[in-house]
Structure 1
Amino acid sequence: MDYLKVSFAFGEIEEYQKDLFIADLAEINFETFEDTDNGFDAFVQQGLFEENKLKALLAEHQELQAQYQIEEVVTENWNKEWESNFSPLIISDECYVRATFHEAQPQYRYEIVIDPKMSFGTGHHQTTTMMMQYILETDFNGADVLDMGAGTAILGILAAKRGAKNIVAIDYDEVCYESAIENAKLNDVDNLVSLHGSKEVIPQQEFDVILANINRNILLDQIESYAAVLKTGGLIFFSGFYETPDLEMIQSHCEKFGLSYQNHKKIDNWVAAKFIKTEN
């Protein structure tokens, strides 16, 4: 599956303006964003890109005076670009995330080796970092875990290293589905099952913990499905959205399905939030 890279350049842009623009881009199927010297690059699956929607969005944000260029990024080029820019990452002084071509660092309690193959979620994005911090703070011993929007399966792999009994990793992107399988093998994780699809492929079993790092609209659509398979007393962690106005919207919707807000983390304006299922 090929991606398009849309490179945006701005004369001047405030951080809050960039956050709002990125949130709107996510609404029209853009998946991930990388800062550049004069703006940022945004990636979208080629089959999901609609330039007319992008132009309409730019008209709504005309104060940004944004310029853009579109470039096709085939799998081979994506992997070369990723390898040339990827640097190892340390989470909470406990977890070391590296690529296959980096040296191991055995002084860290957990090590995760990632080969994304055009899927996203290496831990460098704020949302993934916060979700990993939550996993490191949570008891996963013997837990059945559901990882929604799994990407590289980095969250499920860390849950496994933290003692999870079984992990189901789900992503609608076929490349992510395959990446999860390969990364599980790279990390000697044999209790992770990767499924291709969305909420319709969630197994009808109970889970102790659910991890969902996606985006606000998908979360709002799928929260009911998550609540249906989460045990009473089970934990659910959400990320992929902003503090304002998204967190309040997520919290309000969760209350309808017996999911009680506990706390949240924030990096820049990105948020990860913890909920507990208090009732059926």
Structure 2
Amino acid sequence: MAWIQLTLTTDDEHARQLGDILMANQAQAVTYRDAKDAPIFEPPPGEIPLWSQTLVTGLYPAETNLAPILNNLHKVAFLSKPLQYKTDALEDKDWEREWMDNFKPICFGGRFWVVPSWHQPPEPEQPYLLLDPGMAFGTGTHATTALCLEWLTEQDLTGKTVVDFGCGSGILAIAALKLGATRCIGTDIDQQALRTTRENAKINGVADKLEVYLPHEMPNIKADLVIANILAAPLIELSKVILGYLKTDGPIAMSGILQRQANDVMAAYLPRIEFSAPRFQEEWTLISGLCSGRVNN
């Protein structure tokens, strides 16, 4: 099927509203892109970032008559007058197939694989996790997730209990179970993340070992290991909460941290955590260490 794209520019305050207007005017899908190549590194927890100038694109079947749609857009008060827009024809191709081809099995630590469900595990004798890209963050392709998976492959998880703080898709919790942990407790502020984690646990045959909770529902537990791949600000703000889930001498790893933020995050966990050297990938950092049990004087 051939398609046509209709793209307009607006500010972050009106981008979502414009997307809703396009959907109400027959768009089959809407996407948001940066209009000025301005990076956003740390959106608020649970929110999808938008840029100060955002390209909002509606996707329409090629045979769509855009004239009445453009007429409706001319009436939108926050859009420029005269209306500025761009249309692009998209060739007929199997978009789903092309999207799937972009995702390949990825190996971490030389022994653990994350495998899209439409692929066969490259080395089925090694532990692997079946995971498809979806709404919740965490497919193994982002540097922060990759750093956490590499770290997990280096831990002795046999018989251990793990807390995954900010579980997203469940990728880290399920990986820990596949690598030998016997119980994992995941928590997230997003109900969609909890649903996705449960579904991915079922797909991977570990649903009986994985529990998920909203933060206020978390059980009183001391885990053998804690991993938290969220963002620097909540890692700092919630340091006492996160540390409360970790046994003395237990390892902890945290990511979702820009390199320039690493020292501030570590300071929030001193002297309780004896940190190892940080790890870096692209602009991102993983910090890790052992819980010493010491407290501030």
TM-score past 0.5 threshold = yes
- CA–CA distance in 2 between the matches of 1:232 and 1:72? 53
Q: 2:135 aligns with which of 93, 118, 124?
A: 118
- Structure 1 letter corresponding to 2:241: S
Q: TM-score, normalised by structure 2?
A: 0.70
Label 1:29 to 1:205 Cα distance change in 2 as closer, same or farther (>3 A): closer
- TM superposition shift of 1:106: 3.1
What residue is the counterpart of 1:134 in the other structure? 151
Matches within 5 A, 1:84-233: 85-107=102-124, 109-189=126-206, 190-195=208-213, 197-198=214-215, 200-233=216-249
Per-residue CA distance 1:23-73 (angstroms, 9 max, x = gap): 2xx244576xxxxxxxxxxxx1xxxx7x7xx53xxxxxxxxxxx5213589
Label 1:6 to 1:140 Cα distance change in 2 as closer, same or farther (>3 A): same
Label 1:70 to 1:173 Cα distance change in 2 as closer, same or farther (>3 A): farther
What residue is the counterpart of 2:274 in the other structure? 260
What is the DSSP-based 3-state SS (H/G/I as helix, E as strand, rest coil) of the residue aligned with 2:247?
strand
- TM superposition shift of 1:240: 0.3
The range that moved more, 102-111 or 208-217, is 102-111
Matches within 5 A, 1:12-27: 21-23=39-41, 26-27=42-43
The answer to whether the Cα contact below 8 Å between 1:117 and 1:175 also exists between their aligned partners in 2 is: no
The answer to whether the Cα contact below 8 Å between 2:136 and 2:168 also exists between their aligned partners in 1 is: yes
- Structure 2 letter corresponding to 1:266: F
What residue ranges of structure 1 are gaps of 5+ in the alignment?
32-43, 56-66, 74-78
Per-residue CA distance 1:78-137 (angstroms, 9 max, x = gap): x99964632221223212211111123235511110134311201010010010000000
CA RMSD of aligned residues (A): 2.8
Q: TM-score, normalised by structure 1?
A: 0.74
| Total equivalences in the alignment | 231
- TM superposition shift of 1:4: 7.6
What is the DSSP-based 3-state SS (H/G/I as helix, E as strand, rest coil) of the residue aligned with 2:237?
helix
- CA–CA distance in 2 between the matches of 1:209 and 1:72? 45
**Bigger radius of gyration among the two:** 2
Aligned-pair identity (%):
26
Label 1:120 to 1:235 Cα distance change in 2 as closer, same or farther (>3 A): same
- Structure 1 letter corresponding to 2:253: F
**More helix as a share of residues:** 1
- TM superposition shift of 1:203: 1.7
- CA–CA distance in 1 between the matches of 2:57 and 2:234? 27
- TM superposition shift of 1:209: 0.5
- TM superposition shift of 1:276: 1.3
The range that moved more, 156-165 or 86-95, is 86-95
Verify: 1:242 aligned to 2:258, yes or no.
Answer: yes
**More strand as a share of residues:** 1
Label 1:217 to 1:81 Cα distance change in 2 as closer, same or farther (>3 A): farther
